[in-house]
Structures are given as structure tokens and as C-alpha cells.
Amino acid sequence: MEDNGKRKAKILVVDDEPRNVRLLSVILKARGYDVLQGYSGEEALEKAETETPDLILLDIMMPRIDGYKVCKILRETEQTKAIPIVMITALHGLDEKIKALDIGADDFISKPFNKFEVLARIRTLLRVKYLHDELEAKNQILEDELAMAREVQQALLPKDIESQMPPGLEFDYKYIPTLAVGGDFFDIVKISPNVIGVFIADVMGHGAQPALITVLIKTLLSELVYKLQTPAELLGELNRRYNALVRQTGIFTSALYLTVDVGKQNIVFSNAGHPPALLINKEKLQLKELPNNSSFALGLAGECTYQSYERKLERGDTILLYTDGLSDIANQNGELFGLENLKSIVADNLKLQNTILIQTILNAIDAFTGNAPKPDDITVLAIGLS
């Protein structure tokens, strides 16, 4: 039986000569194919749409709508554009065959028919079609998984951020996901009336797996943030648990965690292989890169000691956090935007409100990259003491 192992292949035979339709139908049915019959271009278009055959044998020379026109319409229609089309012709000139191939025909056979040639060409095209259908099905599964992963990532972003801010603290951010699912993630935890914790991370890679790891990180973070005293302790325990669960995947995660105490006017922070935070003093027009002590990202070492740093804040200070999708993005020449470029943009715009500053940075990124694709998520957070 000529099929794909699951069902008989369905073939539409179209010719304005009933004798030719009968002859081809006998040949095909003898090999186990299901056969649909049509006798005009109009019937070909109707049955191709309603019956969705696996392959079409289509006569060229037909009244009103000839085979060329039918083939062109089928190729321009979403539902039928992938159906293999074999043109049937009584013409033996090369120009006619080239025209048939140019408008989208996959193959052609000449009258009078050779039974073995007809069957061989059909087998070849059906084999290609089944591979195409299998690939389409797998792609659809992948698209569905990525769509679900995007939804998961969106659900993980903190909600109602303003209500979590202590009086005197402002939070602005921009999260730009890539078309492929990336691994950027941030969270805000209200530790006490005057203290919040801010966590930012970037899981290596793209796709469903990084999205699932962000779920794991958020779950662990929610458990550990109230148990451990310092950001360094939190990152150390987070790294141990992360390794125990996902080290075999080889996926690592850069992360930075800081606490902001509005009452004490200070920050305490620790860095696990993440791009350094920037401290902006709007009154003194100063920009400082905060230390990151070059610690390992989460997942690179089973046991890792992280270091906490403390900095005093002044009214009007802003802490800028970001992922490497911002600093490591490349232009069409392969040149990286880089940390120094980022610091230069910030230094030139220290007096701007944080929302405008973030947009200014993103505008500079767009100007730098031009039409080059952005392969990674971009996340920028600004925490300001008013």
C-alpha cells in the first residue's frame, strides 16, 4: 500500500479529458491510493481546498482556468501552498516545462502516460511531503513550547511593584524579551517596611529550558530571602541548591542580589558573575561602577563563597542594574556595545529622570545596532532614593 504508514495517501487527479482521469485513477487505486477526481480548473481549486489532498496531478491544457493558473493560485493560498503538484502535459517543448516549474509545479509527466514513471514520481514527491509534514509538526510543537515558556516568563515578573516600594524609593524598569525565549529574570521582595530586596539574573541560553530554570530560581529565592542575613549568604545557598538540581544540564546563571534600606540609606549587595551595578549621584553628577569581585555565576562551581558589599546612599542616588543583553549586544560589524559605552551614555545623562534615562540608553542601543537582530533579552532596572 502506498501510504505514510498511517493512512492511504490521497491524490487529486484533474484533467478535462475523462478518459485520462479514469486511466490515472485505475493506476493509482491499484497501488492503494485514495483518488479524488476533477475535470476543470474550478474543480481543482475547490477540491484542493475542501479535501486537502496529499498530491495533485494537474493537466495543463484545460478550458477557462488552465493548469498554470490553478498552480499559481494553489501556491499563493496558505492552505494549499505545500501540496506537491505534478503537471500533466501533452506538450513536449522545454519552454512549457520551465514555465510549469517556475510557477510552482514540483514535477511534470508527459502524455501518453508511462505507468511506472507516474508511480515513481508520485512516490518521490510523497516521501518529501511526509518529511515536510513531520518537520512542520515538530516545529509546531516547538512553537507551542516556546509560547508556553514566554507565558511562564511573563508570569514570573513582579506585579504591583509600586505597592512594594518603601516611602522615598522609586523603581523603574524596562524588560524587552527576545523573539526566542531568553533567560532574563528579576524579582522584588519586600523584606520589611523600610527594606526591599532586588534580584536580577540571566540564565544562559534560549528556549523552554532557561524559562523553566527561572521558575526554579524564583521558588528558591522566595524560600531563602527571609532566612539568610546577607546577599552573599543568599547567593551561596542559592548556588548550592541550584547545582544540586540543574548542574547536569550545564546551564549557568549570572545573578546579582541587593537590599535597599531606606531608613539607613544604604545598599548591601553581592554579585555572582553578573555585569556590575552602576551607582548614580545626580546631585554631584557622579557615576561609579560597583565592585563585583569576579565571583562565579550560579552553577559553575558546587561550593562558592560570595562577598557582600555595603554602600551609603544619598538622596537622589540611583542604582542601575542590567543584564548582558544590554552591554554585550553587537552591531552589524560584530562590534560589542560594551560596558564603557554604557557608562558613557549614563554619564552624559546623569540629570535625567530614571524612566527617561532608561529610554535614552535603549535609544543608544538601537542607534548602535541599526537593523542587526537583538539575540538576547534586555533588562534594565533603576532604583532611586528620592
Per-residue pLDDT of the chain in tens (386 residues, 90 and over written 9): 455 555 789 999 999 999 999 999 999 999 999 999 999 999 999 999 999 999 999 999 999 999 999 999 999 999 999 999 999 987 667 887 888 889 999 998 888 888 999 999 999 999 999 998 899 888 888 777 777 777 777 777 788 888 889 999 999 999 887 765 668 889 999 999 999 999 999 998 766 777 778 888 888 998 998 888 899 999 999 999 998 888 777 889 999 999 999 999 999 999 999 999 999 998 889 999 998 876 799 988 778 889 999 999 999 999 999 999 888 898 888 889 999 999 999 999 999 999 999 999 999 999 999 877 777 889 999 999 98
**Looking at residue 350, what DSSP letter applies?**
T
d(Cα 41, Cα 21) in Å, to the nearest integer? 14
d(Cα 265, Cα 366) in Å, to the nearest integer? 35
d(Cα 239, Cα 256) in Å, to the nearest integer? 12
Query: Which residue spans of the chain are classified as CATH 3.40.50.2300?
Result: 10-145
d(Cα 94, Cα 21) in Å, to the nearest integer? 24
d(Cα 363, Cα 207) in Å, to the nearest integer? 27
**Looking at residue 68, what DSSP letter applies?**
H
Model-level pTM? 0.69
CA angle 353, 354, 356 (to 5 degrees): 70
Angle between helix axes 338-347 and 354-369 (nearest 10 degrees) is 140
Architecture, CATH, for domain 158-385: 4-Layer Sandwich (3.60)
* CATH class of the domain comprising 10-145: alpha beta
d(Cα 319, Cα 239) in Å, to the nearest integer? 24
Query: Which residue spans of the chain are classified as CATH 3.60.40.10?
Result: 158-385
